[in-house]
Structure 1
Amino acid sequence: MEDMKEKIIFCRGGGCTAKLGAGALSSVLAKLPKKRDENLLVGFDSSDDAAVYRLNEDLAIVQTLDFFPPMVEDPYTFGKIAAANALSDIYAMGGTVKTALNIVCFPESYDLNILGEILRGGNEKVQEAGGVLAGGHSIMDTDIKYGLSVTGTIHPDKIYQNHGCQPGDVLILTKPLGIGIVTTANRVGEASGEAMQQAIASMTTLNRYAAEVLADYDVHACTDVTGFGLIVHLLEMLQDGHMARLAANQIPYIEEARHGAEEFLLTAGGQRNRNHAGDQVEFRIQDFAMEEILFDPQTSGGLLAAVRPEQATEILQRVQALGLPCGIIGRVEESTSDRTNHRTKVIVEQNL
């Protein structure tokens, strides 16, 4: 079993760091023909987290899928992380999980007990979500990959899309950043056990609980922060004429991620995110580590929600009670015409 775990540790580009870059993906999707269907309320022509299809006036289904290679040693823990990550897209849309299907790539030469542990971890998270594991599909592959296809339900009038921000909205992040940097450091033996436990606790926590808090308030836009990092996911939320201002001193992150960034223990995914979106961000701080944390790809990251300012403090207090670092990290504003760089959509300052 130890030999098999060794192979999982060194799997290339584990977790959401394995995600294709946002620029490459959008250029491919833009070329696909689109079939118009008035009941497809959310499809791939937007940057939302899941598809939504209306069945009737009161009911729509939410569909998503997500899978990736391992980023931790333990197969059972990996199964929980991969499942929590896939389930998150349902919560980011405001939906309720109903069914899930396993997606498995597994080397024929590996011990099947490893696969059993991965599936056990995944099934536990599906059950915790209130859903039912209904089957799946597996193929032989040179590397391990695992995830879920998930179906949920939602009322057609209560969908959280990611582009409904309004000027004045406050931005709340429900989990800490730095997951990609910490897990990368761990693969080369540079992360402490405490930092990895913090990362695992975050990655295995369902966004269900934060979503249940948000359901009691006016959420104008919501997404989950995953492989594109906070900055790119935030940019996807901002419509034309809008910008965001972030407070670096309010960003929740795993403390050891700062040390990892300063030691250049970075991910290729983070650099793809910077290359794709860096020219739309103005950093008014001299803090390279914070820049990297903001571009860092997250696996099973938190929800990023735009809410009414008068509701933000109460929401934050309730999310804080869930036990993970979180924060009010910034606000949405109207774009100003006096900015020297018209492409700037996000300004990062030390505080607001």
Structure 2
Amino acid sequence: MRLTEYAHGGGCACKIPPGELEAVVAGLFGDSAPDSLLVGLDDGDDAAVVRIANGTAVVATADFFTPVVDDPYDWGRIAAANALSDVYAMGGTPVVAVNLLCWPRDRLPMEMAAEVLRGGLDVAREAGCPVAGGHSVDDPEPKYGMAVTGVADPARLLRNDRGVAGVPLTLTKPLGIGVLNSRHKATGEVSPAAVAAMITLNRDAAAAALAAGAVCATDVTGFGLLGHLHKLARASGVTARIDPGAVPYLPGAREALAAGYVSGGTRRNLDWVRPHLAAGDVKEDELLLLADAQTSGGLLVAGEVPGFPVIGELTPARAGVSIEIGQAPT
């Protein structure tokens, strides 16, 4: 049984398109937010953050998606790493998680569901985060993820609205997960490099960003590098410049793109960002890779983080443009 054949989309590529989502939640925030709510819906950050007693902030998030690979254990590991990433992307430490499982119990064996949960548990153990139960429903399409609660220092958060002009942009995982996963869904061909990237926790990258003094970051998931960078630049009131030659890609990503394995989510990402994009003579294929819908991608940090590549910089705001693509001046 191939899990990906039971899903209409794969991983974070199955997200509701960003433009549609923003329209849906547009009226759900505003004056009623308490002073203790440090991060809410306003800028579409990675998780909610609430200040509690004794100089502590609680970070809360939930993330789940359809199968991105056929191996149930790997899917569980990927989904858990992806859910935990939202806490790391805020500069927090996960302290407890609960499972979210939707399963077609009449079509797929429950033993396979147990493997999914085992994969999630193993990655949560690696993160030092206990999994304390969860919730399950009978569903025609399998879905799995976690709701995760973490803690953070409210004075040392990583937020997507704290970027300033003049700082570099660092990316902590290579791109290309989306096109490789699309190829896997279509052909069954597994990319070990993509699986390894997706199950890698963003814990060490977040710790390095905080140690380097960063205050602005986001993780790169279903809206692609361009989509998440657009949100960061818009929230921070700056323009971002990306050097396409500096962006790292997983082995085989360009070949998968050339073979046509591009998800609908990736194309919707590019369509959403294009009105705010100054791309010059950059080719469409390059833009699709930059908009590629990632699952459990890396962190995009405003600031230089030792050990990770710098892919661009933040610049003063340019009217109507959130992202410029072109080599940074030397």
Give TM-score scaled by structure 1 length.
Answer: 0.89
2:234 corresponds to 1:216: no
Task: Tell me the secondary structure at the aligned position of residue 275 of structure 1.
Answer: helix
Deviation for aligned residue 1:10? 4.6
Q: Which residue of 2 aligns with 1:77?
A: 74
Residue 250 in structure 1 maps to residue 246 in structure 2: yes
Partner of 1:233: helix, strand, or coil?
Answer: helix
Q: List runs of 5+ in structure 2 lacking aligned partners.
A: none
Measured at CA, do residues 332 and 24 of structure 1 come closer, stay the same or move farther in structure 2, by a change above 3 Å? same
Q: Deviations over 1:277-324 (max 9, x none)?
A: 1111111344332211111110000000001xxxx2xx332x4xxxxx
**Quick check: 1:63 aligned with 2:70?**
no
Q: Provide the rounded CA distance (Å) in 1 between the counterparts of 2:273 and 2:84.
A: 27
SS in 2 for 1:47: coil
Length, aligned pairs only: 326
Aligned partner of 1:316 among 302, 306, 321? 306
Aligned to 2:83: 86
Hey, what's the Cα distance between the residues in 2 that align with 1:40 and 1:345?
A: 27
Which amino acid in the other structure matches residue 206 of structure 1? Answer: L
1:33 deviation in Å?
5.2
Query: Are 1:335 and 2:312 matched, yes or no?
Result: no
Contact residue 249 and residue 351 of structure 1 kept, 8 A? no
Q: Which moved more, 1:282-291 or 1:203-212?
A: 282-291
- Out of 228, 240, 253, the residue aligned to residue 233 of structure 1 is 228
Q: How far is the alpha carbon of 1:9 from its aligned partner?
A: 3.9
Distance (whole Å) between structure 2 residues aligned to residue 257 and residue 153 of structure 1: 36
Identity fraction in percent: 39
The residue that corresponds to 1:111 in the other structure is 109
Give yes or no for the alignment of 1:205 onto 2:200.
Answer: yes
Residues 281, 344 of structure 1: 8 Å contact kept: yes
Q: 1:155 — aligned with what? A: 153
User: Which amino acid in structure 2 is aligned with residue 105 of structure 1?
Assistant: C
Structure 1 residue 199 displacement after superposition: 0.4
Map of 1:262 onto structure 2: 258
From the superposition, tell whether residues 240 and 146 of structure 1 become closer, same or farther in structure 2 (CA, over 3 Å). closer
Q: Tell me the CA shift for residue 215 of structure 1.
A: 2.0
Distance 2:54 2:273 in 1: 38
Q: Distance in 1 between matches of 2:29 and 2:202?
A: 33
Counterpart in the other structure of 2:94: 97
Letter in 2 for 1:349: G
Which residue is equivalent to 1:279?
A: 275
Helix, strand or coil: the match of 2:132?
A: strand
Which residue number in structure 2 is paired with residue 176 of structure 1? 174
The one-letter code matched in structure 1 to 2:113 is: L
> Retained in 2: the 8 A contact 1:89–1:224?
yes
Q: Could you report, residue by residue, the CA deviation over 1:41-63 in whole angstroms, capped at 9, with x for unpaired residues?
A: 11112211000111124111100
- Counterpart CA distance in 2 for 1:277 and 1:50 is 22
Would the alpha carbon gap of residues 8 and 232 (structure 1) be closer, same or farther in structure 2, given more than 3 Å must change? closer
Equivalent residues of 1:10, 1:187 under 8 A apart: no
RMSD: 1.6
| Secondary structure, counterpart of 1:215 in structure 2 | helix
Query: What is the TM-score when the length of structure 2 is the normalising length?
Result: 0.95
Asked whether the 8 Å contact 2:98–2:132 carries over to 1, the reply is yes
Report how far residue 240 of structure 1 moved. Answer: 6.2
Question: Shift of the alpha carbon at 1:220?
Answer: 2.8
Residue pair 2:208, 2:306 contacting (<8 A) in 1 also: no
Q: Which residue of 1 aligns with 2:285?
A: 289
- How far the C-alpha of 1:345 sits from its partner, in A, is 1.7
Deviations 1:228-278 (A, max 9, x none): 110110111114641111111100112422122223221110111111111
The answer (yes or no) to whether the contact 1:101–1:149 under 8 Å persists in 2 is yes
| Residue-by-residue CA offset, 1:21-45 (whole Å, 9 max, x unaligned) | 1111111111225422111111112
User: Which residue of 11, 22, 35 maps to 2:7?
Assistant: 11
Matched with 1:323 is: none
User: What's the CA shift for 1:143?
Assistant: 1.1
Amino acid in structure 2 at the alignment position of 1:263: A
Deviation at 1:14? 1.3
Structure 1 segments unaligned to the other structure (5+ residues): 320-326, 337-341
